[in-house]
Every structure is written in structure tokens, then in C-alpha cells.
Amino acid sequence: MAQDLMDKLVSLAKRRGFIFQSSEIYGGLGSVWDYGPLGVELKNNLKGRWWRSMVQEREDIEGVDAAILMHPTVWEASEHVNAFTDPLVDCKVCKNRFRADDERLKGEPGTPEGQCPACGNKGSLTAPRMFNLMFKTFMGPVEDDASIVYLRPETAQGIYVNYLNVLQASRQKIPFGIAQIGKAFRNEITPGNFIFRTREFEQMEMQYFVKPGDDETVFEDWKAQRMQWHCDLGIRASKLRFHEHGPDELAHYAKKAFDIEYEFPFGWKEFEGIHNRTDFDLRRHQEFSGKKLDYHDVTTKDRFVPYVVETSLGADRLALVVLADAYREDTIDGEQRVVLALQPSLAPIKVGVFPLVKKDGMPEIARRIYDDLRRSFTVFYDEKGAIGRRYRRQDEAGTPFGITVDGQTSTDHTVTVRDRDSLAQDRVAMDQVTAYLNERLRS
């Protein structure tokens, strides 16, 4: 059943143009995905919502957009060169690869008891060896060790190395934050579950700089704010929970960490992390760069290296959460339909415009409405086929409203507005449609 829902989501995503496999005509590239016309709108809506709440609606958070390529010493300072590794286990018989912490592994890998979850052979697993997840490339024409650069595995470091620049340019005072949305790359050993774990993905990260000692209260505050933010997107609260990292799960830089988990069809999994990263990163950058990164509080005359509370959300994982949470099947007039019950503000297309039939001047009126609405909303015009089928296509795309021009329109200048979820049809005056939609989208 769970796999069934994932298969349905993958197929809906392709059918309606949300998400396609990368380089599909060449057989695809492992765990890399492309967003299609509807997918890019959905993802932009999610990123826009995050940016607005994190940066534009707040006095105390500034935005940046740092480059993907960074000075290679950054990744030594951050310990990614040494420690950003996963333990890797190979099966000598079937050649499959696993993370050593994969729950499906039985017995100790590298001993006669270690059993391969794919082929079932005992004693065929190698002892775990550490595998660095960073993608390497070369800068300039010579491919030697001196020209190695990395594709960033997290966006956070681009914030830390710009911390002083932002502080000086913005004249913020502690506590304050820096936020960024951008691509990150990890050479994951076992990617999968569609866009859940991929090798190229997008993160929405915010680093909040605080006075040491204030970090624990600020951490609790962000934890609550982030959970509320997801509820405000319309994600069912019963599908959301916190998971606290135990001592063996904590990253090398973290004093405390909580994941926000969603109950995906394949189980409860993290899609956002809230981390108390202490002063680890700034101290390390201070040490490796030789530049002072401490903060001078002019009122108290204190000097300190700030602590950092980070919120780190994957844009693609959030898109999967939103799609999985919105997927519904129901029956109307004896016919099954698939609906994406997305919150209207997140829907890629806000309104479909349809002439009931392709005659009697209806297409002309409908096109005029379409042209008018396009100035304010993402709109889709469709005049082909039975009206029921046109509605159904938009239900699958998550379009919350459908406007239909019918025989009555030319006489009383009204149209019907169909609600995707309740299926109620309101008659609305043509010149009131924009105001009506604005009102409905706001509520």
C-alpha cells in the first residue's frame, strides 16, 4: 500500500509535469530529478514562502546567495574533508552497496554472520569502510591535487564565511540571522525514494547567531517556530513529529539537534533539522583563515564568538512532503478522481478557465477572462474535450478553482467558479472574479 502510494505519486508527477527523471531519454541518471512546468511553480512557491517568512517579514534576518564553489580550505575547517563520511558496506556476491547503518542489514558486516539484505547470502558483506560524500572537481585546466574544489554539501558554510561581511554591511546586532536558499550535492551511497534522497538537492538554511548562554532558549524558540510553519502550510499535524538526536546520532559540531519528521509512505523520516552548532564553525574558520570572527558588544563591552542555531530544510524533501500529504482519491458521480488538495497558495496553477462548449461565443469570452486573470494569477486555459475531464485534469494538478463560461454568461455576465475540494459551484459576476479569487486565496 505504501509503495503503491509512492508509485502513484511518481506517476502523477510525471503525467502532469511536476517531476521527471534527469536525462530520461538516455535511461536516466541515478537519483537526479528535474522539475517540470508544474513542479517548478510548486517549488518556487515553497521557496518563496520560506524566504518571505525568514527574510522579508523579519527585521533580524538577512539573506545571501553564496556560490556553490568555495575555497577548499573551507571544507577542511568545517571538518567535511575528514568527517563527512558514511560507512559503506559491499556485498561481494551481488555487488550491491549499503550504508552500514542500514536497518535491513542483519549480523555484523565483515563477519560470517553479516547477511546481505539483497541476495540473502551470509558472510558476503565487507567490513564497513568510510566513504566521503563530497563531490570533487577541478578548478582550471590542470587536474591535480592543488586544483581540487568541492561542490558544497551544505549551504551553511557560505553563510559562515560571509558572517563578518553581512554583519558590517547590514549593521545588525546579535542576535541576528542569515538565510540562504541554494543547491547542495552529496554523493549518497543509497539514494532513493524519489526526491527524498538525491545526489543534487536544494536546501533552505538559516543560521541564527546568538550570545553563548542564550543558545538553549533560542533553540527551543526556533524549534517551535519551524513546526508551526509546516502546520501553516496545511500539512496534517498528525503526520508531523520531532525526533531528538541521541548521543550517537549527533553531528560532530552539534550540542543538540532535533529533526522534524513526516510520516512518508516509507515511514517516519526527517525533512528539516534544527541544530545547535555552538561556536564550532566560526571558531574553526577563525583558526584556519587567521581572521578574527568574534563579536564586540558595544553596550556590555563583551567580546565573544557567537553560538549558532541552524534551521536546515530540504526544498525537495518539503516538496515530497507537500505532494504526499495532498494526494487524495475520491469518487464523484460514480467516477474515481485523483486530487492534489494543495493549499491554494502553494498550487502551481491557481485557476483553470474553461468555455463549457467550443461555440456560441463562449471561447472568446473565456479567453478574455483568461487574459485578464493572467495579470494576477497563474492561470490555465482549456477548451478541449468534455468539461468533466478538463476539471479532472486540473484536480490532479492541484488547481483550486475552475471558472466556466456557459450559456448564461452572455446574458447575465456571470460565470461559475468550481471549488476543487468541495465541488461547490458559485455564480460570480465576471467583473468580480479577480476580487473573489483574491479573497478565497487569502483565506
Residues of this chain that bind ligand ATP (CB under 6 A): 186, 188, 197-198, 201, 203, 270-273, 312-314, 316-317
Q: Is the separation of the CB atoms in 280 and 256 below 8 Å? A: no
| Residue 80 in grid coordinates | 567535511
Tell me whether residue 41 or residue 272 sits nearer to ligand ATP (CB atom): 272
Q: What are phi and psi of 66, to 5 degrees?
A: -85, 160
Tell me whether residue 188 or residue 383 sits nearer to ligand ATP (CB atom): 188
Tell me whether residue 319 or residue 405 sits nearer to ligand ATP (CB atom): 319
The least distance separating ligand ATP from the CB of residue 75, rounded to whole angstroms, comes to: 14
Q: Concatenated DSSP letters for 154-218?
A: -SHHHHHTTHHHHHHHHT--SSEEEEEEEEEE---SS-BTTTTB-SEEEEEEEEEEE-TTSHHHH
The least distance separating ligand ATP from the CB of residue 376, rounded to whole angstroms, comes to: 32
Tell me whether residue 160 or residue 380 sits nearer to ligand ATP (CB atom): 160
The least distance separating ligand ATP from the CB of residue 315, rounded to whole angstroms, comes to: 8
CA gap 310, 280 in Å, rounded: 12
The least distance separating ligand ATP from the CB of residue 318, rounded to whole angstroms, comes to: 7
Tell me whether residue 90 or residue 259 sits nearer to ligand ATP (CB atom): 259
CA gap 14, 7 in Å, rounded: 11
| SS3 (DSSP) at 47 | helix
The least distance separating ligand ATP from the CB of residue 273, rounded to whole angstroms, comes to: 4
The least distance separating ligand ATP from the CB of residue 154, rounded to whole angstroms, comes to: 6
Q: How many residues does the chain have?
A: 443
Parallel, antiparallel, or unpaired: how do β-strands 401-405 and 351-355 relate? parallel
The least distance separating ligand ATP from the CB of residue 192, rounded to whole angstroms, comes to: 10
CA gap 15, 33 in Å, rounded: 15
Residue with the shortest CB distance to ligand ATP: 314
| Residue 185 in grid coordinates | 550535492
Q: Residue 322's closest CA among 419, 235, 428?
A: 235
CA gap 62, 252 in Å, rounded: 27
Tell me whether residue 40 or residue 338 sits nearer to ligand ATP (CB atom): 40
The least distance separating ligand ATP from the CB of residue 82, rounded to whole angstroms, comes to: 16
Parallel, antiparallel, or unpaired: how do β-strands 85-90 and 129-132 relate? antiparallel
Tell me whether residue 41 or residue 259 sits nearer to ligand ATP (CB atom): 259
- Residue spans of beta strands (DSSP E) within 190-325: 200-210, 240-244, 256-264, 267-278, 295-296, 303-304, 307-314
Tell me whether residue 62 or residue 272 sits nearer to ligand ATP (CB atom): 272
Tell me whether residue 35 or residue 381 sits nearer to ligand ATP (CB atom): 35
Q: Distance between the two ends of the chain, CA-based, in angstroms?
A: 34
Q: Residue 9's closest CA among 32, 30, 39, 29?
A: 39
The least distance separating ligand ATP from the CB of residue 39, rounded to whole angstroms, comes to: 15
